[in-house]
Amino acid sequence: MGTATLPTRGDEAWRYSDIDALARAWPLPAAECVVVPADGHFARTIFQNSGSVHTLDIAIGTGATAAIHILNIGGEYGRVELNVTLHEGADFKLGAVQIGGGNQNLEIITTVTHAEPSATSSQIVRSVLAGTATGTYLGKVAVARDAQLTDSVQSVKAMLLDRSATANAKPELEIYADDVKCAHGCAIGELDPMGLFYLQARGIAPADAKKLMLQAFVAGVFEGAADEEMLTEAALKKLGDLV
């Protein structure tokens, strides 16, 4: 973790965390370190359904690829932190969904460093929040001075089912190279009332209409995952519990 003492909300990476819940889990397990060799491939599914903190440090070698899929839905406090370093021509993909209700506090924190040229990264994060739940995504993409021809994109969207729920989103770019293609998009909103009306006018019950729209909202995030079916089923069950 690189954290010797319990963090506070004054620490940027922990500013929206449930520090009381974190204290009950302290000290945290050490980060898992993964080195993907040149031209290798690494894939991992992280299913956080019990209230825990996962930290994964990944170094992706020249020409190698890594794909991470996350479903963050369980416990009073659940956090997944990824620290990724890409070398020349490497590729990193993240597909993540977090779904919370009640007073849950769920977080996905990423730092993706393009250390060498011609690497690519893509991050897709979707959050659905109800009750007084809090969902947070803090995602930093850092492009080193020599990492020309970097191509990086972040797509971050959150859906609030209740006005009492909170979504925090901070996609961040730190770019020192001048020949790059980096973009991020962020949106936080509510279910479209006209869309709900359209479905209900065709005989679909209100709860089912909401569930259909939420299914569409998270659709495709787990595409390509080895555990795609399991992740999708667990996500749909959690969505059904919320509506």
Region of residue 86 (phi > 0: left; psi between -120 and 50: alpha; otherwise: beta): beta
In the chain, which stretches have pLDDT less than 50? Answer: 1-2
The reported pTM is: 0.92
pLDDT of 194 reads 85
Domain span at residue 87 reads: 12-190
pLDDT of 3 reads 52
- With beta carbons less than 8 A apart as the criterion, state whether 70 and 235 touch: no
**Six-digit token string for 47:** 């299913």
Residue 100, beta-bridge partner list: 129
For strands 65-72 and 77-86, give the pairing: unpaired
* Residue 143 burial (CB count, 10 A): 24
Evaluate whether residue 37 is within a structural domain.
Answer: yes
pLDDT of 1 reads 42
Residue with tokens 């004054």: 10
Evaluate whether residue 27 is within a structural domain.
Answer: yes
pLDDT of 60 reads 98
**Six-digit token string for 203:** 């005989």
For residue 29, with 0-12 CB atoms within 10 Å meaning exposed, 13-18 middle and 19 or more buried, which class applies? exposed
* Residue 64 burial (CB count, 10 A): 24
pLDDT of 195 reads 87
Evaluate whether residue 86 is within a structural domain.
Answer: yes
Evaluate whether residue 25 is within a structural domain.
Answer: yes
Give tens-digit pLDDT for 114-131. Answer: 999 999 999 999 999 999
DSSP per-residue string spanning 142-170: EE-TT-TT-EEEEEEEEEESSTT-EEEEE
| Phi, psi angles (nearest 5°) of residue 227 | -105, 30
Overall residue count recorded for the chain in this entry: 243
Closest to 103 (Cα-Cα) out of 73, 74, 71, 76: 76
Evaluate whether residue 48 is within a structural domain.
Answer: yes
Residue with tokens 């390509």: 224
Closest to 90 (Cα-Cα) out of 144, 151, 46: 151
Evaluate whether residue 235 is within a structural domain.
Answer: no
Evaluate whether residue 215 is within a structural domain.
Answer: no
Evaluate whether residue 2 is within a structural domain.
Answer: no
pLDDT of 96 reads 97
* DSSP code for 4: S
**Six-digit token string for 90:** 């490497």
| Phi, psi angles (nearest 5°) of residue 54 | -115, 135
CA triplet 215, 221, 224: central angle to 5 degrees?
125
Domains of the chain: total: 1
73 Cβ contact list (under 8 Å, min separation 6):
48, 49, 98, 99, 100, 106, 234, 235, 238
